[in-house]
Amino acid sequence: MTVPTEPADPHERKNPMITDPPTTDLDDALTAALDPGSERIARLTTSLAPRADDEGLLDLTYRRVDGPHGPLLVAATETGIVRVAFAEGGVDQVLEELAEAIGPRILESSLRTDAAARQLTEYFEGTRRSFDLPIDLRLARGFRARVVAHLLEIGYGRTETYGQVATAIGNPGAVRAVGTACAKNPIPVILPCHRVVRSDGTIGNYLGGTEMKRALLAMEAA
Amino acid sequence: MKPVPFAQIVAEHGATVWAVCRSILSETDADDAWQETMIAAMRHLPDPAEGTNLAAWLTVIARNKSIDIHRRRVRQATPVADITAVADRVSIRTGSHPDPESTATGSGTIDGDLRAALARLTERRRTAVLAHHVAGYSYAEIGELLGSSEDAARRSAADGIAELRRQLRRRS
């Protein structure tokens, strides 16, 4: 950066000049001159969701919730919460799966997701023992839907074995399928698959990792 | 083609869409045009058809929405006030201070110098340059926006670019 020795006018004296002005990539520089800035885009995006919703164009909204075991993604349809995902590795892959399964009109917004975010935070802080939220179970059909719906009946601080869940939904032979259904629970934490454990007393697998399952159960037992 | 979550489209192309709108509209009108563009795009999902260049597709929608708003503004204005109104709208982002000194907020940067140089262009040349080179409006469309012929719009853009190059070279 140099100061011109012979400023062409008084204005320029205050402006140290660059040494290498754009000539070939002027188009890029012109585009940069019209850059809205990330804050404006964020503001515009925030007001886009309610408007899209008014016009019936919003398949899903989502937001991130920071929990003690890493970030979660919470997504909601018009019906209710449809997906909770562990988002340690970013949200892109989850959003792409949702776009394919439900629809591509997805926006980040507190619309529809606000209550879930608040209740999840309260749950992780230990001040909430049950969730009061509309749920959309469309990502778990048939047998899997029956399994995850039953999870709501396993109260805070309690556990059931995979076998007990299989019996409870009237299919006592389907222990392994119950395990699969829990592993594919689209709404973990809110539908508490972490409360389903092995009959030998070990805690079994968990979408968010065994450590997280152990931590959640320990928190609820406290 | 797998459907692209619209949130990713907004994150990737939102700034480009705004630049297209802003090249011929005020900041407030550009915000409106941006929203209308995104709503229109959402209405078209999950098509665009396979292989569509999303940036190009959005840019076309943004240009059309911006021209609509521009026409609406021109219709609302009286013929005499029109030229001034258009001039106000095409000043660049920091153009609320037409004085080049205060416009060059990024002094010492390419960005700041370019802003200052843009601010020194006539409104007509500035509109032609930004609308064509940033937003890809055709000279026929720009001619209509400026109330002149296609050829005059092409000349304004060429003269504007030449003047920008001259100004920026002089400062080196």
Residue B164 has its nearest CB partner, among A16, A17, A26, at A26
Flag residues of chain A having pLDDT under 50.
1-24
pLDDT tens-digit series, residues B57-93: 899 999 999 999 988 887 776 333 333 333 343 343 3
Contact residues, chain A, for B104 at CB < 8 Å: 11, 15
Band (B45; pLDDT cuts 50, 70, 90): confident
Q: Which distant-in-sequence residues (6+ apart) come within 8 Å of B108 by Cβ?
A: A1, A15, A16, A17, A18
For chain B positions 120-139, those within 8 Å of chain A (CB to CB) are 129-130, 133-134
Q: How far apart are CA A127 and CA A121, in angstroms?
A: 9
Does A152 reach chain B within 8 Å, measured CB to CB? no
pLDDT tens-digit series, residues B132-159: 988 889 999 999 888 899 999 999 999 9
Does B15 reach chain A within 8 Å, measured CB to CB? yes
Q: How far apart are CA B47 and CA B37, in angstroms?
A: 15
* Contact criterion met (CB below 8 Å) for A165 and A152: no
Helix orientation angle between B150-170 and A26-33, rounded to the nearest 10 degrees? 100
Q: How far apart are CA B23 and CA B91, in angstroms?
A: 9
Does A19 reach chain B within 8 Å, measured CB to CB? yes
pLDDT of the residue at B157: 93
Please tell me the pTM assigned to this model. Answer: 0.77
Choice among A193, A196, A197, A216 that is catalytic? A193
Q: Which residues of B102-121 are buried (b: 16+ CB within 10 A; e: fewer)?
A: ebbebbebbbbbbbbbbbeb
pLDDT of the residue at A222: 85
pLDDT of the residue at B158: 93
Q: Does the annotation count A182 as an active-site position?
A: no
pLDDT of the residue at A213: 93
- Test A100 with B171 for CB contact under 8 angstroms: no
For chain A positions 96-125, those within 8 Å of chain B (CB to CB) are 96, 98-100, 103-108
State how far residue B23 is from chain A, nearest Cα, in angstroms.
7
Does A16 reach chain B within 8 Å, measured CB to CB? yes
